[in-house]
Amino acid sequence: MIIPYFIIIPLLAAFLITLIAGEKDDWAIILSIIAVISLLILSLFSYITMHTETLTYYMSSWKIPVGIVLVQDALASFMLVLVSIISLTSLIFSISYVRNLSSDWKYYSLFMLLVAGMNGVIITGDLFNLFVFVEISIFAAYALVAYGGKAEEFEASFKYAVMGSVSSTIVLLGIAVTYSATSTLTLAKIGEQLPSINSNIKLWIGGLFVAGFGLKAAAMPFHAWLPDAHSSAPAPISAMLSGILIKILGMYVLVRIFFNIFDAPQFFLNIFLIIGSISMIVGVFLAVGQWDFKRLLAYHSISQMGYIFLGFGLSTTLGILGGVFHLLNHALFKSLLFYNAGAVETVTGTRDLRKLGNLTKIIPTTSNTSMIASLAISGIPPFNGFFSKLIIIIAAIEANQPVYALIAVIGSIFTLASFMKVQRYGFRSEKKADVNGKSIDWKMNFAMITLAVLCVATSLMIIPGIREIALDPVVDVLKNKTLYIQLVMGK
């Protein structure tokens, strides 16, 4: 049974790094790369071979409801693949980028703890252990945000920690209310008990989880911590935070709880729709006015999360497909954009778009991949962002929600305007760019090229035949809402 290895491997790597890493970071890099490649192989194997299966692993062979259970289905496998891809490219990008800050093994140990926490959140079938894994990953994230050692990074990390503490307190309160009402912490068992408890208690539990995990997803109005944290962190950590952390700790948990445990009550789906539409518009409007490259990208994370909330809030087959697909696509093109921002800052020493210039000949790989990522996030064909946004818009029209479809279109138009500014001032202006003599090595270029290729290649996942294999099993997990409970409980 390979399920526990998704937690064991990164935890073991973090432990070994602290034991054998010397003054330099060479061993830390080797161990981290080996660990993440192993996770990628295991996750791809699971994703390809499992299809509609749901696997369970009982810790110490203690059965439900006494023991702790780990669960892996198509949705979990999909998310594990996504974490592994972004983690691997971020590690490769980090090798040169982080050495410009310091050659310290602690970065890689914290990185592996971050991965272990996210993987634990994905596969746990226990509500309290979900909370524990959330805290493991988020505490590692606090430290990594402040890794550069600058005053603004410490301030951003402190704000992140304060908001994270608030969200964790709300989640813990929600877990306490859930346990008092159901006398269990196993997610499937909670789902089995929920129909028999008071509807007002269910509203309280759902409201606490929306607020707590909504803060971690950084959707409006829970977004205040994100612009500082994502813009101040080292570029590969910004990619991890925006690309996968807010999705795993926020969106994935919300979807898992409200679809597979709560059976997707319409009241909370309407909240998803409202949060999504507000996030799309307010986030993109705030992004348009930014001149700090990474801060602009941070606000776009809020806006793009709105599309995912909208897709899942529609709760139709097409809406869920769009939400799942955009979750993947956003992780790819947003991580790439943060790599681009990190490369630009490495070469020029600034993130201010007004101080940049014509970078196309100085850093051609960065310039070209940033164009691909800009077109993808703006929803321009044939890049992946176009197809997931189109599916969500069509799903909204089919669900007789034309207002939400219009909001999605408007958000995409302003996203395009925002990234036209990025390309015009940041990469392709007539002004000569000032550079500091530093260069972008092959490892950073490799990470950017890999994600740029995926921004094109993943568009193929929507083709009939490929979609049935790649995306439909994930959609089925959420569409057949209570099947999760039956499979985990062995009924």
Closest by CA to 258, choosing from 207, 327, 219, 185, is 207
Backbone angles phi, psi at 3, to 5 degrees: -55, -50
Separation between Cα atoms, residue 4 and residue 120, nearest integer Å: 9
Whole-number pLDDT of residue 105:
83
CB neighbourhood size of 18 (10 A)? 12
Separation between Cα atoms, residue 345 and residue 17, nearest integer Å: 29
Residues whose CB falls within 8 Å of the CB of residue 381, separated by 6 or more in sequence, listed in order: 387
Separation between Cα atoms, residue 383 and residue 376, nearest integer Å: 5
Strand positions, DSSP E, 279-394: none
- Partnered with residue 292 across adjacent β-strands are 352
> Are 236 and 339 a contacting pair, CB within 8 Å?
yes
Q: What is the mean pLDDT of the chain?
A: 90
Task: With both helix axes pointing from N to C terminus, report the angle between 402-421 and 384-398 in degrees, rounded to the nearest 10.
Answer: 160
Instruction: Give pLDDT tens digits for 271-294.
Output: 999 999 999 999 999 999 899 999
- Alpha-carbon torsion angle 30, 33, 35, 40, nearest 10: -160
Q: Which two tokens stand for residue 115?
A: 């991965």
Instruction: Please state the rounded mean pLDDT for residues 437-458.
Output: 92
Whole-number pLDDT of residue 66:
67
Residue 403, judged by CB atoms within 10 A of its CB (0-12, 13-18, 19+), counts as exposed
Least trusted range by pLDDT, from 24-33, 317-326, 386-395 = 24-33
Instruction: Please state the rounded mean pLDDT for residues 372-401.
Output: 95
Kindly write down the DSSP assignment for every residue of 14-37, as one continuous string. Answer: HHHHHHH--SSSHHHHHHHHHHHH
Instruction: Give pLDDT tens digits for 132-146.
Output: 999 999 999 999 988
Estimate the share of the chain in helix, then strand, then coil, as percent rounded to the nearest 5. Answer: 75, 5, 20
| Helical residues (DSSP H) of 379-481, grouped into ranges | 384-398, 402-421, 442-457, 467-470, 472-479
Is the model more confident about 221 or about 441? 441
Closest by CA to 330, choosing from 157, 454, 422, is 454
Identify the three-state secondary structure at position 352.
strand
Instruction: Please state the rounded mean pLDDT for residues 402-406.
Output: 95
Whole-number pLDDT of residue 484:
83
Considering the entire predicted model, what is its pTM? 0.94
Separation between Cα atoms, residue 2 and residue 411, nearest integer Å: 41
